[in-house]
Amino acid sequence: MIKKIIQAIMPSKKMIDMFTLKLESKQPIEAIAQKVSGECESHKFALLQTYVYHDILEEKGFPIKRKVFIYEICQAKTAGLMLTSNPEFSIFMPCKIAMYEDEGKTIISTMNMEIMLNAVKSNPELYKEATTIFKTLKSLMTSLSEV
């Protein structure tokens, strides 16, 4: 019922904006893509997987005009705590950073975890770790966006 009420009063774009965190950069997407591995390392994230999505789609016969990169990253300690306490959160893991071109800018985005973090407040250790990881993820994205 609450879901229907929210959908009725909140336009789709507003919902997307609420659930995503986006930063803009004037840097070319390729320049930012070259920095991802180093920034992950300096922010203590493991870079698990890189998807060059525009190439994947082209190989499948569905080329797109913009470049899109998706990175799966992880901090094992927090992942272990989360999966021990809340295995249903596994659908949100690992953390993802998406980068795409949009109207001459590079957008760096991820899921806005603030709403989800409230669901684990009853576990103080997990909440602290997850809040810290989200702050670190935002810092990583800021580092990527800067020249």
pLDDT in tens, 96-107: 999 999 999 999
Least-confidence region, from 20-34, 36-50, 106-120: 106-120
The CATH architecture of the domain made up of 21-145 is 2-Layer Sandwich (3.30)
Instruction: Give 3-state DSSP helix, strand, coil % of the chain, rounded to 5.
Output: 55, 25, 20
Q: How far apart are CA 38 and CA 33, in angstroms?
A: 10
Domain boundaries, the chain: 21-145
pLDDT digits (tens, 9 = 90+) for 122-144: 888 888 888 999 999 999 999 99
**Number of helical (H) and strand (E) elements in the chain, helices listed first:** 7, 5
